[in-house]
Chain A
Amino acid sequence: MTSDNRRSAAMLQKYTTRDTANGYAQLAADVLARAKACGATEADIVVADGETLSVQVRVGTVDRLTKAREKRLGLRVFIGKRSATTSTSDFTRESLERLVGDTCSLARAVVEDDVSGLPDAAEMATEQPSLDLYDETVLDTETQIDWAKRGEAAAFAADPRVTNSEGAEFDSSSGRVVLANSHGFVGSYKSSNFSLSVSPIATESETGSMQRDVWYEVQRKFARLASAESIGQEAAKRAVRRLGARKVATKRVPVVFDQETAGSLLANLCSAISGYGLYKRASFLLDKLGQTIASDLMTVYDDGRMMGGLGSRPFDGEGLATRKNTIVERGVLKSYLLDTYSGRKLGLPSTGNASRSVGESPSVGPTNFYLVPGLKSPQEIISSVKEGLYITELIGFGINMVTGDYSRGASGFWIENGELAYPVEEITIAGNLKQMFKDIEVIGSDLVFRGRIASPTLKISEMMVAGN
């Protein structure tokens, strides 16, 4: 590192957030007062700010360096039963006054909606526990470059067939969210994320055909990240093992989903039980509360209070306390995911799952949504299959949430006599999610959180695989 580099790195660190939670709370109080003066009967405000440093390295040199700081304010007003939502990144007095005026006139232009409004004042979160979401570590640019370089180098070193790279990326970000409403609720929390992803490309020397894969990790705390080398090595292993992939014949077989692809099935479940899809009658799990929707092996929780969780938060997007909800218990659907509005539409209380992107009215989202692990290792699950498919990647959007019809592009490995025989690609798997959840035959022991939604390996007794 040259001295010039060090000076620049120090300069970068000064590029920090200027405003405090208290400053934002005061700003929110001013805007709420202004909205009230404008005729709002209720209102809430979200202020979010954050800083990001992202470093991408490719084939050993820096490819892209991105540094930014941003802030946004979102306002939602109610005039009786009418409401509107707005947002801006301009916090000047004139801009905010214009925003309040615009929001109130938009609200006057839409129709009354019987169930619209803030949650009841008595429902607001009364405590804001620390959930270990924030790490004050500020990484300098050189450290991030070093991590990304080491991750990518480990992928190249792991196997001679790794010949190229889409790059390695190390991101760090931190930010604050302040939520305030006209009931007098004011909540605030800080959070951070550190992530490394490595995307190597492996080449088959005889044919020149290429395969890419990626491995990554995300943590709230820098110290919890796995080593750059281990992430790079796993990425290389995943790319190399795809070489020589072929199509298979069209056939109905058992299908084993790895952690990543099983997680996508959990994400489909999550969408199907979202209050908004339900009251619009746009979900295949309509009117199924209290009924068996899945194999009795399946128990699913959504836990907003998991310490250090990537989906954890002390309060939801409307200021209600987050909690641990039982979603599916031994195959029976126990709870939907609801915010105040969708809950009122369905005659149910909110489950504390309001998610809020600044400038939009609340919607529903998971916190830490996961399938409770079983006892079998992934290896034991694969061993139990005589002929079938082990899926490691799904692509495309062939999922109909209204009917549950499911058809996606897949790649992975063909299983013969309990062993991974060869890689496969350019095939699809198809079925219906209603049946697929019921056909879950085995659940693995390997639950790891790499995002807000997580699942162990799982096996579905049979699906249609389309190929040759």
Chain B
Amino acid sequence: MLEPVQLAKFGVTELEAQHALDRLNVRDVDYADLYFESRTSESVSMEEGLVKRAAKSVSQGVGVRATAGEKTGFAYSDELTKKDLEIAADTARYIANSPKGDSPVPVPTQRRPTRDLYPIERAKAEVATADRVALLNEIDTEARRYDPRIKNVMASFNTEYKVLAVATSDGTLVSDIQPLSRLQITCIAEDGDNRQVGSFGGGGRVGFEYYREDDRHLSYAREAAREAILNLSAVDAPAGVMPVVLAGGWPGILLHEAIGHGLEADFNRKKTSAFSSLIGKRVASDVCTIVDDGTLPFRRGSLNMDDEGTPTSCTTLIEKGILRRYITDKLNARLMGIPLTGNGRRENYQSVVLPRMTNTFMLAGESDPQDIIRSVKKGLYAVSFGGGQVDITNGKFVFSASEAYLIEDGQITKPVKGATLIGSGPEILTKVSMVGHDLKLDNGIGTCGKDGQSVPVGVGLPTIKIDEITVGGTQR
């Protein structure tokens, strides 16, 4: 069982934390919290067959926040003395220009974490550099062995070990230890003047042994090499509206961009989202049920609790096509009078909390993936994607395929070059006509950006058919 982290770890006493919270206790402040964080990040990287670079970074600090109505006052410091906490508290309080509160701030009492989704021993998170170097060397050998046309292999292995504690004005003190790691591989293939790239990666809140299980690192290397070699023979992608079949797993980035961001409560409270006021309305076909689930063990997007100390949950966003819920943090749940979903997240102590996704995926349907492909006369089969982006307000989103094939007369034929797919969030899922029984979660590579803050997330999808979407290729 996860042991609570004591504030002493940050050089602060519980009394000092309560004292700072007390300075924030003015009449108009609805809620205040102190977020203590200590983070160690390490990386090793390889290119040209050599593990040349190693880096390590250590950071520690506190973020102090007060909210009053819609207002948020926020200050942070990398110094954790009593005086720094006081200055930060006085700064955060600036938004609420009111006299001292009537009721005293309760002494924060330590609450035990309710679950342990990533029980990684510290020793397993901190692996000797030599072992990480060996892992990368084996990857280089494997990728080059896959095909002599692989001319360069770049790989990096990153780990993060984050310890955090949150003390809140409602009297709780909760903590978590969040390990995270990722292995990323990129291969360059060359055949004469034709040069192509392929990449693959994975990870999660897992220990180092995960990457060696069943030689997982070598299978990643072969996948990156395979995609690069495949792209050597890719033809130009088509342009225009057509049916698209998305493979399971990482293509779930569709959900993240098309609906996930639009369902974050802050945009809906401000009525700036294309989904504002669509709760209870149909936004997808009835084969679509979509959840955001922060409670899956070892997943990159999972958390025992969010960054406000709320336990994460599995929230049904869309149920058989009907929009059910927004995802919330404390501020937006309170202002909108809707349930807390445990999605209040921040990149680090230097950032404010925002409602953010965890692992977002569509539940499995009943179709056979083969039947889905056979149902398409002329279209695109997209297997892997780079990034995506969305305009929250008008709902238009894009995501870019990095491995895709033409479907001709129900058969997968030629590989095509990458192309961007563009659609409209509130409409696209109404065009999903078939959902496969093969739900797959991604391998643990996703990072979501919002308001300048990056947080790790997961996505997932069964094979699905979208009857029509605009494909941004170059060929008629």
Closest residue to A86 on the B side, CB-wise? Answer: B56
Q: Which of A102-110, A174-182, A365-373 has 4 or more CB atoms under 8 Å from chain B? A: A102-110
Interface residues of B (CB under 8 A from A): 44, 47-48, 50-61, 70-78, 87, 90-92, 94-95, 97, 128-130, 133, 151-152, 154, 186, 188, 190, 195-197, 237, 239-241, 270-272, 274, 350, 352, 386-394, 396-400, 417-420, 422-424, 470-476
User: CA of A430 to CA of B472 in the docked complex: distance in angstroms?
Assistant: 6
Known pairs A58-B70, A280-B47, A402-B188; A427 contacts B422 (CB<8 A): yes
Question: Is A396 in contact with B398, judged by CB distance below 8 angstroms?
Answer: yes
- Per the bound structure, the CA–CA distance linking A107 and B44 in Å amounts to 11
B391 → chain A, closest Cβ, in Å?
A: 7
Tell me the smallest distance from the CB of B419 to a CB of chain A, in Å.
Answer: 5
B418 — which chain A residues lie within 8 A by C-beta? 398, 400, 405, 407
Q: With a CB–CB cut-off of 8 A, which chain B residues contact A105?
A: 129
The residue on A at minimum CB distance from B76 is A68
* Contact call A425/B394, Cβ cutoff below 8 A: yes
Contact (Cβ within 8 A) A11 B90: yes
Cβ of A211 and Cβ of B52 under 8 Å apart?
no
- Asked if B386 and A397 make an inter-chain contact with CB atoms under 8 angstroms apart, the answer reads yes
B230–chain A nearest beta-carbon distance, Å: 13
Q: Using known A-B contacts A281-B152, A464-B474, determine if residue A396 contacts B389 with beta carbons closer than 8 Å.
A: yes
A–B pairs, 19, beta carbons within 8 Å: A8-B94, A70-B61, A72-B59, A85-B55, A85-B56, A86-B56, A90-B78, A111-B51, A210-B272, A210-B274, A282-B186, A397-B389, A398-B400, A403-B197, A407-B419, A407-B472, A428-B398, A430-B239, A430-B419
| A282 touches which of B56, B76, B77, B152 (Cβ 8 Å) | B152
Query: Which B residue sits closest to A64, measured CB to CB?
Result: B72
A66 and B71 alpha carbons, distance in the complex (Å): 11
Cβ B53 vs Cβ A361 within 8 A = yes
Query: With A397-B387, A400-B418 in contact, is A84–B55 under 8 Å at CB?
Result: yes
Known: A15-B87, A164-B272, A395-B389. 14 other contacts (CB 8 A): A15-B91, A58-B70, A61-B70, A62-B71, A90-B78, A201-B393, A280-B152, A282-B154, A286-B195, A359-B57, A409-B389, A409-B422, A466-B471, A466-B473
B387 contacts across to A, CB distance below 8 A: 396-397
A466 touches B472 (CB 8 A): yes
- In the complex, whether A65 has a CB less than 8 A from a CB of chain B is yes
Task: Output the nearest chain B residue to A202 by Cβ-Cβ distance.
Answer: B393
A468 touching B71 by the CB < 8 A rule? no
Is A65's CB under 8 angstroms from B393's CB?
A: no
* A274 at the B interface (CB under 8 A): no
Q: Could you give, for residues 384-403 of chain A, a 1 whenever the CB lies within 8 Å of some chain B CB and a 0 otherwise? A: 00000000000111101111
Question: Are A107 and B97 interface neighbours, CB within 8 A?
Answer: no
Contact B472–A429 (Cβ < 8 Å): yes
CB neighbours of A70 from chain B (8 A): 61, 76-78, 350
**Chain B residue at minimal CB-CB distance from A108:** B129
Q: Interface residues, chain A, CB within 8 Å of chain B?
A: 2, 4-5, 8, 11-12, 15, 58, 61-72, 83-90, 95, 99, 102-103, 105-107, 109-111, 113, 116, 141, 164-166, 201, 209-212, 242, 245, 247, 250, 280-282, 286, 359-361, 395-398, 400-403, 405, 407-409, 411, 425-432, 464-468
Question: In whole Å, how far is A165's beta carbon from the nearest beta carbon of chain B?
Answer: 8
- Which residues from B are CB-within-8-Å of A141? 94
Complex formed: what's the CA distance from A164 to B269 in Å?
12
- Nearest chain-A residue to B274 (Cβ)? A210
Q: Name the distance in Å between A57's Cβ and chain B's nearest Cβ.
A: 10
Q: CB-CB < 8 A to B70: which residues of A?
A: 58, 61, 63
Which of A11, A103, A281, A395 meets B391, CB within 8 Å?
Answer: A395
Q: Which 3 A-B pairs have the closest CB atoms?
A: A428-B472, A396-B398, A409-B398
Residue of B nearest to A341 (CB): B52
Output the residue of A8, A85, A250, A465 with the most chain B CB within 10 A: A250
Least distance between B44 CB and chain A CB atoms (Å): 7
Question: Shortest Cβ distance from B240 into chain A, in angstroms?
Answer: 4
Please indicate the chain A residues that have their CB under 8 angstroms from the CB of B94 in the complex.
Answer: 8, 12, 65, 141
Question: Which residues of chain B come closer than 8 Å to A211, judged between CB atoms?
Answer: 393-394
- Measured between beta carbons, the chain A residues less than 8 angstroms from B87 are 15
Contact assessment for B391 and A212 in the assembled complex, using a CB-CB cutoff below 8 Å:
yes
State A429–B52 Cα separation when bound (angstroms): 39
Cβ-defined partner of B473 (8 Å) among A88, A360, A408, A430: A430
Nearest-CB residue, chain B, relative to A56: B72
Q: Decide yes or no: A426 and B55 within 8 Å by CB, A8-B94, A397-B400 being known contacts.
A: no
A62: chain B residues within 8 A (beta carbon): 71, 95
